Amino acid sequence: MSEHIVKAYDEDLKTLHALIQHMGDLTIEQIKKATQSILKRDKKLAHEVIDEDYKIDLLEIKVDELAVRILALRQPVASDLRTVVAALKISNQVERIADYASNIAKRALLLNEIPPFPAVNGLSTLVKIPKRMLERALSAFATNDVSLALHVWHMDYEVDEQYNAYLRELFDGMIADSNNISACTHLLFAAKNIERIGDQSTNIAEAVYTMVTGKPFKENDKLRNEDEV
Amino acid sequence: MIPSLKMRHLKERWFKRAGLISLCFALLFLGCVLADIIYKGYPAFFRTEIASNVGYSLFLNPHASYHTEKPWVVASDDVDLYFKSGHKGKLTPKQIQMIKELERQNQIRLSFNTNFFLASDSREPELAGIWGGIIGSFLTLLITFITAFPLGVGTALYLEEFAPRNRLTHWVEANINNLAAVPSILFGLLGLVFFIHFMGLPRPSALVGGLTLGLMSLPVIVVTTRVALSSVQQTLKEAALGLGATHLQVLFHHVIPAALPGIMTGVILSLARALGETAPLLMIGMVAFIATPPSGILDPTTVLPVQIFNWSRSPELGFVENTSGAILILLVMLMLLNCIAVFIRKRFET
Amino acid sequence: MAPKINIKQLNLFYGDKQALFNVSLTLPAFQTTALIGPSGCGKSSFLRCLNRMNDIIPNIHLEGQVLLEGQDIYAPSVDVVALRTRVGMVFQKPNPFPRSIYENVAYGPRIHSLFKTKAQLDNIVENSLIRAGLWGEVKDRLSQPATRLSGGQQQRLCIARAIAVNPEVILMDEPCSALDPIATAKVEELIDELREKFTIVIVTHNLQQAARVSQQTAFFHSGYLVEAGETGALFTMPEDERTQGYITGRYG
């Protein structure tokens, strides 16, 4: 799309995109670190994740402020308006995802108090797809890519399957030995948080879909468009 | 600090000063002319009178000397001149001695010259007046107004509002603009050929003079009226048209009332110009000496500026003050007309 | 909504220069249609075709149809004076007549003889001023010159003057471009109220105004009607790239 006549307007929108991208990058890093802190029983890393969550909270506030400012001063319409509205929604989702990362790190601290448990390694597989979903959803926002957004939405099925499989693994562990219950419960919460990251990423994808097409995201739309993709 | 700023301010000051200086010059010249005319002209409003019981018929105007029942009679122009300004003229030293004697006996005096306003032209400067010229001017201007106003305003209305915009109307418009700048004497020639030779109207009459001046005023009235009409805001016309007014209703309800101050100003100023005009009237023979005021538009008539012209050519010294006096009267009339124009503009232009 | 005016394949020429190209648009009754577009795009020319205000311009030539309730207003049998009582107009600059407030509103009814008694005329004037939201402000000074009113009041007076002849359609050519935000808001509120009884077409350069007051928006560009649609949809999801570029402030 061509540039605005008022260059400062373009600058504002670019800043908005950059802030979201920065939030996303930080959050993905947080997810990685949080997972690592559980896998490697790294207390320091876990603390780092928990301590850095405020950065993302601050970024969300910045996005809110900038978006409101653009709404007030530029009175955006059409695609610009949809971009700003999407940015508001997406920053909110990303902030939630960062909270999940922080929650996972808290579980790492708790897991550190008890003996190592082998099922922990399942998390490294489980986290892969939600992380990729978040990356792709943000990439779809940056490039106005509807098909990528729909793809992200679709990936959530896989996450659910993997999550259910992992839950069964944890239940089996608990049934096998009641000493595992404490560890498994922590892992269960961590897994739930990872699964939620996937869900939030689909929300981002839906926001991108609405931003690009101007239509609300509905299940049947998604199914119809899926055939086209 | 911008380097050229000082220079720019300096230029501005010099420009203002130059304007002020030229204005002062203009005022100075105007003042000189006015002072000269007033100085020369105001004695015309007074006349020298001699007590009628004095037997010096020599000093008396030969026509006035019959009215012996009056206590005071008008002195002859030479006595008048000597009494007012000490100019000896043709008077012999003995006569001067007699005037001084009369003065000592309070039997010679200056009084207001009602004759100057109420009498018509005369060969004798002390008996000549401007009444005939004023009546003549009035009648002539009346004819000018009656012919030029409706014709001029009508033409302007048609050209501005109804005429199709094509080559012919452009040509007509250009020529009307040119006519407004044509020397007035050419209109005199036109009047001579058309009204007198062709139509055979009586020669030095107010009718012919008025028609000729009307011809002269016409282009000016057309041009000023068109300017006044075209300066009426388009939005005003659109407002009325948008309400469903017809073109004629728009014209008469809105355009003409709005343009009226401009139209009237143009008309009055062109009448003022006609009032002061001499050249075309000379061409149509209104230069003749006419001693009785006209009683109708077909009577032989003279007008004030022509009378001034005639007086200025007269050999008698007494006519010098008469000339200036008449010029003063003409100036006052012109100023009155201009004041009316300003008043109309102020009154309606809100 | 029933169509009030139906424009079919309208082409407008000023001499050799074509100002409008194949414009077809339907104006629904009792709705406000906003015409937007860059300067010189033909939106004002288009507006002036709707009450034949363009007739006064020489060398104008028009093709196509403008149907007011099915009747072509350019048909030879249509009297333009009668047309303008049905399709009134409010202009960019407030242009009250240099007369009293009362006479301004009474002018239309007077020239069309819309009343029999003085009381009826008083009634028309009062109702028009009430409908224009001006009655409270001017009822004590009806005999004062209209030019003493403020700009916003003058514009509402012009609206009162337009509705005094009881038109069916009111055309507004940038009615708020000379007004401050408060006066603009009052006129906008008025437009919204007038929609109950009149069909309104408004030309505006203020996109937010178009968005605020209209139900339908039409975007003109270079003499073409690029896009017309429900205002909310047009401002959130325009279909045409040029509309998008114009309303978001990008180079077209």
The pLDDT of residue B24 is above 60? yes
Please tell me the distance in Å from C208's CA to the nearest CA on chain A. 8
For residues C221 and C39, give the distance between their C-alpha atoms in angstroms, rounded to a whole number: 9
**The tokens of A8 are what?**
């400062």
Chain A residues lying within 8 Å of C207, measured CB to CB: 77
Single-letter code of the amino acid located at A40: K
**Short-list B261, B255, B253, B232, CA closest to B341:** B261
Q: Please give the DSSP secondary-structure letter assigned to residue A2.
A: P
Interface residues on B facing C, Cβ-Cβ cutoff 8 A: 164-165, 233, 235-236, 238-246, 249, 253-254, 257-258, 350
Asked if C162 lies within 8 A of B233 by C-beta distance, the reply is no
| Full-model pTM | 0.76
Selecting from A5, A214, A215 the residue whose C-beta is nearest the C-beta of C249 gives: A5
Asked if C248 lies within 8 A of A77 by C-beta distance, the reply is yes
**If you measure CA to CA, which chain A residue comes closest to C247?**
A77
pLDDT grade for B54, boundaries at 50, 70 and 90 = low
Asked if C91 lies within 8 A of B258 by C-beta distance, the reply is no
Across C162-185, average pLDDT: 89
Give B253-293 pLDDT, tens digit per residue: 999 988 988 898 889 889 988 988 888 888 888 777 777 88
Q: In this predicted structure, what is the pLDDT of residue B199?
A: 85
Interface test with C, best of B160, B166, B243, B255 (most C CBs within 10 A): B243
For residues B350 and C98, give the distance between their C-alpha atoms in angstroms, rounded to a whole number: 8
Give C20-78 pLDDT, tens digit per residue: 999 999 999 999 999 999 988 889 999 999 999 888 787 888 999 999 998 899 988 88
Give B119-149 pLDDT, tens digit per residue: 777 777 777 888 888 888 999 999 999 999 9
Give B287-335 pLDDT, tens digit per residue: 777 778 888 888 888 888 888 888 888 877 778 888 888 898 899 989 9
pLDDT grade for B70, boundaries at 50, 70 and 90 = low
Q: How many C-beta atoms surround the C-beta of residue B313 within 10 A?
A: 10
Q: In this predicted structure, what is the pLDDT of residue B131?
A: 87
Interface test with C, best of A10, A79, A82, A146 (most C CBs within 10 A): A79
Q: In this predicted structure, what is the pLDDT of residue C114?
A: 87
| Record: fold of B131-349 | MetI-like fold (1.10.3720)
Flag whether residue C98 sits within 8 Å of chain B, measured between CB atoms: yes
Single-letter code of the amino acid located at B264: M
**Short-list A228, A224, A200, CA closest to A103:** A200
For residues B184 and A124, give the distance between their C-alpha atoms in angstroms, rounded to a whole number: 110
**Short-list B298, B295, B301, B291, CA closest to B200:** B298
For residues B339 and B350, give the distance between their C-alpha atoms in angstroms, rounded to a whole number: 18
Using DSSP's 3-state secondary structure scheme, residue C149 falls into: coil
Single-letter code of the amino acid located at B122: S
Helices (H), A113-180: 122-126, 128-143, 146-176
Q: Give domain C3-247's CATH architecture.
A: 3-Layer(aba) Sandwich (3.40)
For residues B195 and B201, give the distance between their C-alpha atoms in angstroms, rounded to a whole number: 6
- Find residues 33-92 of chain C whose CB sits inside 8 Å of chain A: none
The pLDDT of residue B52 is above 70? no
Q: Which chains touch C (3 or more CB pairs under 8 A)?
A: A, B
Across C200-228, average pLDDT: 92
Helices (H), chain A: 7-39, 43-74, 78-112, 122-126, 128-143, 146-176, 181-213, 219-228
Q: In this predicted structure, what is the pLDDT of residue A99?
A: 93
- Find residues 198-237 of chain C whose CB sits inside 8 Å of chain A: 207-208, 211, 235-237
Using DSSP's 3-state secondary structure scheme, residue A47 falls into: helix
Greatest pairwise CA separation for chain B in angstroms: 90
CA B281 → CA B29, B277, B324, C201, C224, distances in Å?
28, 8, 20, 63, 65
Q: End-to-end CA distance of chain C: give it in Å, rounded.
A: 33
Residue extents of the structural domains in chain C: 3-247
The pLDDT of residue C126 is above 80? yes
Q: Which helix (H) or strand (E) holds C233?
A: helix C231-236
Q: Which helix (H) or strand (E) holds C34?
A: strand C32-36
Please, what are the domains in chain A? 3-228 (1.20.58.220)
Across B110-122, average pLDDT: 80
pLDDT tens for chain A, 229 residues long, are 678 888 888 899 999 999 999 999 999 999 999 999 988 888 899 999 999 999 999 999 999 999 999 999 888 988 899 999 999 999 999 999 999 999 999 988 888 888 888 778 888 888 999 999 999 999 999 999 999 999 999 999 999 999 999 999 888 888 888 888 888 888 889 999 999 999 999 999 999 999 999 888 876 555 555 554 4
Across B199-210, average pLDDT: 85
Domain with CATH 1.10.3720.10 in chain B: 131-349
Give the distance, in angstroms, between the CA of residue C142 and the centroid of all CA atoms in the same chain. 25
Flag whether residue A136 sits within 8 Å of chain C, measured between CB atoms: no
Q: In this predicted structure, what is the pLDDT of residue A229?
A: 43
Q: Which chains touch B (3 or more CB pairs under 8 A)?
A: C
Q: Where is pLDDT greater, at C140 or A3?
A: C140
Selecting from C89, C97, C111 the residue whose C-beta is nearest the C-beta of B236 gives: C97
